[in-house]
Amino acid sequence: MARIRKKSAVPVYTVAVIWIFWATCMPMYKISHFIWLILWSFLAYKLTGLIWRGKWVEVADPEPELELTGNAEVDELMLQGREAIRQMRALNAKIKDKKISQQIDRLENLSDSIFQHVAKNPGKISQIRKFMNYYLPTTLKLLNSYAELSEQTVRGKNITATMAKIESMMETIVVAFEKQLDSLFGAEALDISTDITVLEGMLQREGLTDEPIGDIKQFVK
């Protein structure tokens, strides 16, 4: 979030009042009359601008320009992903519950990591089809419902019960997103495990190690 100062409208209104007053009460048939009007308007604008300086507001940071890959399927995925993350952020701004907000932050980061990884590895698009077609849109639907329910000033048992169900489900959703990201690295983990196994065998045959390095293989798995 960026913090900017939003200018006050008071200086503009002040200048407008001066022009209305001058037009109705002061002569305006010489160039000097207009010069004085402009001078007083300028001074009034600056003075009121110093007194009423406006207020600080927070605005969302501009999104970086999306780098297209040239692969139509990947580019479409990235566009859908960016839109989903944008919706999460908008909903997060509406939802006041601290825990839910933190979970949404986590979902944003996980989703971005998933999309970025698939963009670099287009062959894995098929692994996230269910994620894109069901899990992600259903999550957004639940968050939309939660945001709408949380804005109700009167909460009966139906609203309270529904919000509680969504709050409980959010923990499961975060874990599911984490597993989805982790599953994308299955092939890499297998390759590394294989490399370590081969390296271990070579080192042992050459007598370059006294102890097996099984602990490393176990860590990779």
Question: 89-133, pLDDT tens digit by residue?
Answer: 999 999 989 999 999 999 999 999 999 888 888 888 888 889 999
Do 89 and 147 lie in one domain? The reply is yes
**Do residues 123 and 208 both lie within one domain?**
no
Q: Domain for residue 53, yes or no? A: yes
Same-domain pairing of 79 and 179: yes
Q: Is 100 exposed, middle or buried (0-12, 13-18, 19+ CB in 10 A)?
A: buried
Are 202 and 178 found together in one domain? Answer: no
DSSP state of 6: E
Reported as a pLDDT band with limits 50, 70 and 90, residue 66 is low
Phi, psi of 58 (to 5 degrees): -100, 135
The reply to whether 211 and 146 lie within a common domain is no
Residues 161 and 114 in one domain: yes
Enclosing domain of residue 20: 2-58
Q: Is residue 66 part of a domain?
A: no
CB atoms within 10 A of CB 57: 11
15 plus 81 within the same structural domain = no
Question: 194-218 pLDDT, tens per residue?
Answer: 777 777 777 777 777 766 555 544 4
